[in-house]
Amino acid sequence: MKKGLDTLYLLYRLCGQEKRNTHTNGETKMLNALERTFGVELEFICDNSNALANHINQQCGQNTVQVEHYNHTTRPYWKLITDSSVHATTPADRRARLKGFELVSPILKGEAGLSAIRAIMDAIDTYTGTAKINKSCGYHLHLQADDLNLKQLKNIMKAQCKYEWVLDCFQPQSRRANNAHYTQSAVRHFGNGRDLSSIENTGFSMIDSARDQTQLANLMQTRGRYCKLNFQNFASVGTIEVRHGAGTLDGEKITNWVKLYTGIFSGFADARLRPSKLNWEETNSNNANGNLTLDKAIRRLFKHIRTEDGAINRDLRKFYQTRAKAMGFETDYFPRPLMY
């Protein structure tokens, strides 16, 4: 048993207990990125769930992971459950009888939560059986949002309108636009769906017109919970689900996605956002009109994503600039999207 994770259970309990920060007058105070609790759901295919759980527990401490039947109950430990939406996609994997599973975290927070993710991914990496991802796998991130007021929630939605195409550039093609059945665009139904100006002007207007959080949530829920920014559980448990991420068992990718979206929630909540004037139909793949490059768009996004001391998170920005290039995008040009 590794001493570093013997205290994980206690940390999980502590993370789950601090769900709100309040001013002395009783009003909810917006959390910074490190204070915001989160949880992850990691889909993958595996040969033997019990063997994998035993291996993780040997590496990380007894009862770190428990195998359970499919359920929606948040546990104080990691649970490994079946997932019927995940399946083997190649003849070899089907012959090996690899099945779909989902590893679901308890409530996590801050660096302790990120460290727990890294430790468990390191353990999976040394598993001698088979645990891997394919195109049927996703990564779902749940973020605490009960500290955000109506205006701040509207700003989060506006940020999604403005930057979903940039976030798509960090993902493989299977997770862009509406290519994944369980991860549909949250904004394509705004405007004509073909250019930023139409999407943002229509989207911003509809978002501003929402009179309460229920109306606001309904704007995004054209496909129920199967969209990149899912508000379905906000009214009941005060969380928002990010379904945009591609499946991964890479600790750095998982934790950087947490940092990115906790940064988006905290950084854009009080931002002043205006609709773009850029029309994709008039912008060719060589960026002939010089309006915008992907690199400029990434830099605009990260102007709002800060470290604890208020500085721009340049390390995280560099990670996603590199990630966009790995996905086949030239950041010096505007990637005329096939997304909408």
For every residue of 102-166, which 3-state class applies, written as one string?
EEECCCEEHHHHHHHHHHHHHHHHCCCCCEECCCCCEEEEEEECCCCCHHHHHHHHHHHHHHHHH
pLDDT number for residue 14:
42
Task: Name the helix (H) or strand (E) containing 33.
Answer: none
Q: Report the chain's mean pLDDT, rounded to a whole number.
A: 85
Mean pLDDT for 118-138 is 97
Contact 237, 230 (CB under 8 A): no
Place of tokens 């994998």: 52
Asked if residue 320 lies in contact with residue 166, where contact means CB atoms within 8 angstroms, the answer is no
CA atoms of 230 and 232, how far apart (whole Å)? 6
- Tell me, what's the pLDDT at 122? 98
pLDDT digits (tens, 9 = 90+) for 226-272: 889 998 888 889 999 999 999 999 999 999 999 999 999 999 999 98
pLDDT at residue 337 in the model: 52
Domains of the chain: which residue ranges? 3-136, 144-326
- Residues forming beta bridges with residue 183, ordered by sequence position: 180
SS3 state of residue 183:
strand
Residue 325 CA to residue 323 CA, distance in Å, equals 5
pTM: 0.88
pLDDT band at 94 (very low <50, low <70, confident <90, very high): very high
Q: How far apart are CA 112 and CA 7, in angstroms?
A: 10
Q: Which segment, 118-127, 153-162, 284-293, 294-303, is predicted with the most confidence on average?
A: 118-127
Helix (H) or strand (E) holding 212: none
Q: What three-state secondary structure class fits 273? A: coil
Average pLDDT (9-26) is 43
For residue 243, the SS3 value is strand
CB-based burial of residue 327 (10 Å sphere; 0-12 exposed, 13-18 middle, 19+ buried)? middle
Instruction: Give me the mean pLDDT over the 8-21 stretch.
Output: 45
In the structure encoding, which two tokens stand for residue 228, read together? Answer: 């990149």
Q: Which residues have a Cβ under 8 Å from the Cβ of 236 and sit 6 or more positions away?
A: none
Q: Which two tokens stand for residue 260?
A: 């990115």
Burial group, residue 27, by CB count within 10 angstroms (0-12, 13-18, 19+): exposed
